[in-house]
Amino acid sequence: MATIPPAKPRILVTRKLPDEVEARIEKDYDATLNETDELLADDDIIAGAQGCDGLLVTPTDKCNAALVARLPDTVKIIATFSVGYDHIDVDAATQRGISVTNTPDVLSAATADIAMLLLLGAARGAYWGERIVREDRWGAWSAVYPLGYEVSGKRLGILGMGRIGQAMARRARGFDMEIHYHNRSRLPSGEEQGAVFHETFEDMLPHCDFLSIHCASTPETRGIVDAQRIALMPDNAVLVNTARGDIVDDDALIAALQGGKLAAAGLDVFRNEPDIDPRYRSLDNAFLLPHLGSATIETRVAMGMRALDNLDAYFAGDNPGDLLNR
């Protein structure tokens, strides 16, 4: 007698994903894909989730407590296509018995590359120079204008020395920078590679000619880069953010860039993306990118595969490798 193959798990995939990832989804899942890549409203997510066993979401899907409460009982896992998971209320999911997973590791190199690009570009005024050439406003070469800031020999403070922070440290060492870091816990001495640990963020700030943010957005870190803390940095320091926009107080950062306390900022992430604080657009000393941290072909495929590994493990009855529920 022919055996009936077990039904494939049903999942809702909220955004368009790379072709290779969607091919694997279609092979292994009974999936609703988002061919148009348009953002789904909460009601669309709830409607699409009916009868589903799991959701594959991205940072644009705000899975807050209200949305989690509305999910049908059939949904048992939310796998996010991102390392950051501040868009998901994990506690609310846990209370409903829903597992939550993310995609760490695979995007560390790509994100650290963008942080380094922003650091160099902000220090040297690359965005400004590019615009001058493009707009045909390039004057004669001058010995005194425009001048940026040297990177070599300067001190880089890293806030959050996880995988991305460590990848940033490796890159910055290649540019002869001295590494300082603040993290919840100190790295094992064999992994510090000369980086100077600071018990508190405030202790590190006076050593930051450059500050690169690599911590998660949590209730403890939201708004942590505020006016008082920026004041502790050396004059003409440069701030780089590839983590989350809400870690920085926009009013404080914009005032520091306008007033000259900070020489420049390189920002890949913003509060309320893509509707960012419009004041950033008029700042010549702000190098702005549209959340490109993990945006390489290789990394986006790897993120998708990692999210699927987590879903596969869950539906096979195993513990997903990247389970976030405590």
Residues 9, 18, 84, 157: which binds ligand DGY (CB under 6 A)? 84
Token look-up 């589903």 returns 52
The first and second tokens of residue 258, run together, are 């306008």
Q: How far is CA 20 from CA 38, 260, 297, 304, in A?
A: 20, 47, 11, 9
User: Cα 112 from chain centroid?
Assistant: 10
User: Is 293 an interacting residue with respect to ligand DGY (CB under 6 A)?
Assistant: yes
User: Is 77 an interacting residue with respect to ligand DGY (CB under 6 A)?
Assistant: no
Quickly list DSSP for 214-268: -S---TTTTT-B-HHHHHTSPTTEEEEE-S-GGGB-HHHHHHHHHHTSEEEEEES
Which one of 76-84, 118-126, 135-143, 196-204 is the stretch in contact with ligand DGY (CB under 6 A)? Answer: 76-84
Would the CA dihedral through 63, 65, 71, 75 be positive or negative?
positive
User: Is 221 an interacting residue with respect to ligand DGY (CB under 6 A)?
Assistant: no
Phi and psi angles of residue 42, each rounded to the nearest 5 degrees, phi first:
-55, -45
Nearest in space to 48 (alpha carbons), one of 14, 15, 22, 76: 14
Q: Is 163 a catalytic residue?
A: no
User: Is 82 an interacting residue with respect to ligand DGY (CB under 6 A)?
Assistant: yes
User: Is 165 an interacting residue with respect to ligand DGY (CB under 6 A)?
Assistant: no
One character per residue 98-137, x = contact with ligand DGY (rule: CB under 6 A): ---------x------------------------------
Quickly list DSSP for 49-102: HTT-SEEEE-TTS-B-HHHHHHS-TT--EEEESSS--TTB-HHHHHHTT-EEE-
Number of helices (H), then strands (E), in the chain: 12, 12
Q: Is 198 a catalytic residue?
A: no
Q: How far is the CB of 269 from ligand DGY (least distance, A)?
A: 7
**Of the residues 244, 271, 281, 298, which is catalytic?**
244
The first and second tokens of residue 204, run together, are 């590190």
User: Is 263 an interacting residue with respect to ligand DGY (CB under 6 A)?
Assistant: no
**Among residue numbers 5 through 64, which ones bind ligand DGY (CB under 6 A)?**
59
> 188 by DSSP, 3-state: which?
coil
Q: How far is the CB of 73 from ligand DGY (least distance, A)?
A: 28
Q: How far is the CB of 5 from ligand DGY (least distance, A)?
A: 34
Residue 272 to residue 98: CA distance in whole angstroms = 27
Contact 93, 70 (CB under 8 A): no
Q: How far is the CB of 282 from ligand DGY (least distance, A)?
A: 25
Q: How far is the CB of 14 from ligand DGY (least distance, A)?
A: 14
Which one of 79-87, 140-148, 163-171, 177-185 is the stretch in contact with ligand DGY (CB under 6 A)? Answer: 79-87
User: Is 83 an interacting residue with respect to ligand DGY (CB under 6 A)?
Assistant: yes
User: Is 294 an interacting residue with respect to ligand DGY (CB under 6 A)?
Assistant: yes
Q: How far is the CB of 82 from ligand DGY (least distance, A)?
A: 3
Q: Is 273 a catalytic residue?
A: yes
Which one of 39-47, 78-86, 195-203, 250-258 is the stretch in contact with ligand DGY (CB under 6 A)? Answer: 78-86
Nearer to ligand DGY, 241 or 294 (CB): 294
Would you please indicate which residues are annotated as catalytic (active-site) residues?
244, 273, 291
Catalog residues that contact ligand DGY under the rule CB under 6 A.
59, 82-84, 107, 293-294
